[in-house]
Chains A and B, each alone.
Chain A
C-alpha cells in the first residue's frame, strides 16, 4: 500500500472521521528514522488520534499510513513489538506491583534486556515494589515511560510524555530522549506547549483542528521569530543610526525613545536577518545593544488562535507540503 520511503512514520492524506466529526483532515507527515519529532497543538487538535492510528488502536477512514515500512494493520503484533507507546491518558488501576506489572508488559513487547527495567526505575526515581494503583499521577507516568522505553524500540510514540512529571524528572526524560536518538531510535512525541518539545525535538509540526498548520525545525522557528531590539547611540549619531536601521531588511517599527542624558535609544522589531543587522550596526558607535530572545511559545500560540485559521486552509498546507 505505502512504499517504504525510509521514514519511520509516513502518512499521505491520512484522514480519520468519527461519525460526523472529522478528527484528521488528510495529514501528510514524514518522520525520518533516527529523529526526534514533536507534534504540538491544542487539545482536540488530533495528536492522540494520529498516535493511536500508528498503533492500530483505531483505523484510518482514508489515506495511507506506514510505520517502520508496514501499515499498522498488516504489521500487527510483530510491528507493535518494535514500538514503545505511552498513551496520553494513562489509567493504571491494577493492584499488582510495579515490577510485576512491567514484567507482564515485557512478555508482550520486544525483548527486554535484563536489568533494563530497574535501570529506568532508578533513573526516573519510582518505587516498583508498590502496587501500581497506589502510585501518584507522576509516578504512574514514570511506570508508563518505563514500559515504553524498556525494550529499546525502534520507534517511541509518546503522547504528552512529561505530563505530571516534576522538572528534575523532565530533565532526566530529556536525557533519555537524547540517548534514544544517539542509539538511532526514532521518537515521536506530542505536547500542547512548545517548551516541552523544543529542547529535544529537531523537527516539529503544529497541528490545529486536524490539520498541520506549520512544519518547521526548532532552529528555523527561532531564526524566523520576531525579535525586539534596542539600540542605544550618542545623541549626535541618532539620525545616521536611524537611517541605517530603516535601510535594513526585516526591520520594522523603528522608534526613538528617551534615554539617559546624551544618548538616544532606538527600538525596533527584527524579523530574521540577524546577521545583516549586527553587521550594519557594527559600523555605528554603539553605546548599548539589547536583543530579546524570541518568545517561540507566543509564536506557536498564535497558530492556535482563530485569527490565523485563514492561513491554515488545506490548500495552503498542501502547497507547503509539496514544497518540502
Chain B
C-alpha cells in the first residue's frame, strides 16, 4: 500500500519480456555493424562504395560522413537502424500506455481505483521513457566496448550527447503516441501519430539534405534537431533539447484532454 509508483512498476514488470527482446535487437545490430568499420570504412573501401551511389541517396541516408569512425556509427546505427528499431519500440509502448489499454477495456478498471488520471499518464510515460533510456544506455555501453577494437575513435562525451539526442528523437515518437492516445483513446490514432512523427522527421531531414534550397526544411525536422549539428563529432548543442521541449508540450496537451474527457466510450 505504501510502496510508491504502483503503475510505473506494473508497466515495467508487464513489459520486461519485450524490453529483453529489444535489448537483444540493439546488441545484435551494434555487434553486426560496428566491427565491420575497420575492414570497410577505415581503409576507404566504404567511401569508394558510397562514391558510386547516387548522391541523392547518400544524402538521404546520411552516409556522407561514413568514412570516419564517428560518422560510421552515426550513419549506420544512430541515424538509421537504431533509429528505426527504437522508433518501433517507442510507438508500440506509447500506444500501449493509454490508447490500447483503453480500447481493450482495462483502463476503465484501473481508473475505477484509487489513482488519478494524471498519475496514470505520468507513471506510464515514465515507464516508456525509462525503457527507451535503458536501450540508449545499452547502445552507449556497446559503442564504448567496441570503440577500440573497431577503431571508431568516438569521444565519450560526444557519444553521450548523441545518445541523449537519439533518446529525445525516439521519445518524441513515443510521447506523440502517448499524448494522442491520451487525448483520443484510439489505438490507430496513437500509432499513426507516433509513426507519423518519426517518418515526418526523417523525410524532412532527407529532403533538406538534397540541396541548399531545401535546407530550411531542417529547421522543422526533429531528426535534424537531434543530429543536424553532428553531436557525435561536435558534442552538445542546443537543438538537441528542442525535442524534449516538444515532448513536454505533447504530454501537457495529452494530460489536459485526458483528465477532462470520458473514458472508454
Chain A contacts to B: CB under 8 angstroms? 18, 52, 55-59, 76-78, 80-81, 83, 85, 87, 89-94, 96, 104-111, 144, 147
Contact = CB atoms under 8 A, between A and B. Distances in A.
B115 A77 contact: yes
Contact of B1 (A58, A94, A107): A107
B104 A57 contact: no
Q: Lowest 5 A-B CB distances belong to which pairs?
A: A91-B105, A81-B114, A58-B262, A85-B112, A108-B113
Nearest to A83: B112
Contacts of B113: 77, 80-81, 105, 108-109
Contacts of B3: 107
A94 B106 contact: yes
Nearest to B261: A59
B19 to A, nearest CB: 15
Given A96-B13, A107-B1, A108-B6, A57 B111 contact: yes
B111, B112, B260: residue with the most chain A Cβ atoms closer than 10 Å? B112
A77 B260 CA distance: 15
Contacts of A104: 6, 10
A127 B157 CA distance: 53
A147 B114 CA distance: 13
Interface residues on B, range: 20 to 34
B122 interface: no
A80 B116 CA distance: 10
Given A57-B108, A80-B113, A93-B106, 15 more contacts: A52-B264, A56-B111, A57-B262, A57-B263, A59-B262, A77-B113, A85-B112, A87-B109, A90-B105, A92-B106, A96-B13, A104-B6, A108-B110, A108-B114, A108-B115
A77 B109 contact: no
Contacts of A91: 104-106
Interface string B74-107: 0000000000000000000000000000001110
A85 B104 CA distance: 17
A18 B6 CA distance: 33
Contacts of B115: 77, 80, 108
Interface of B: 1, 3, 6-7, 10, 13-14, 104-106, 108-116, 119, 260, 262-265
A87 B108 contact: yes
Nearest to A79: B114
Contacts of A55: 111-112
28 contacts: A18-B262, A56-B111, A57-B108, A58-B265, A59-B260, A77-B114, A77-B115, A77-B116, A77-B119, A80-B112, A81-B113, A87-B108, A87-B109, A87-B112, A90-B109, A91-B104, A92-B106, A93-B104, A93-B106, A104-B6, A105-B109, A105-B110, A106-B1, A107-B6, A108-B6, A108-B113, A108-B114, A109-B114
A107 B108 CA distance: 16
Nearest to B17: A95
Nearest to B2: A107
Contacts of B112: 55, 57, 80, 83, 85, 87
A105 B263 CA distance: 19
A123 B204 CA distance: 61
A18 B105 CA distance: 19
A110 B1 CA distance: 8
Contact of A110 (B114, B260, B263): B114
Contacts of A89: 105
A52, A59, A83: residue with the most chain B Cβ atoms closer than 10 Å? A52
Nearest to A18: B265
A264 B132 CA distance: 88
A42 to B, nearest CB: 19
B21 to A, nearest CB: 14
Contacts of B6: 104, 107-108
B52 to A, nearest CB: 50
A105 B112 CA distance: 10
A105 B109 CA distance: 9
A107 B5 CA distance: 10
Nearest to A49: B265
B182 to A, nearest CB: 15
Contacts of A94: 14, 106
B114 A80 contact: yes
B120 to A, nearest CB: 10
A76 B111 contact: no
B116 A76 contact: yes
Contacts of B105: 87, 89-91
B196 to A, nearest CB: 26
Contacts of B265: 18, 58
Contacts of B14: 94, 96
Contacts of A90: 105, 109
Contacts of B263: 57-58
Contacts of B116: 76-77
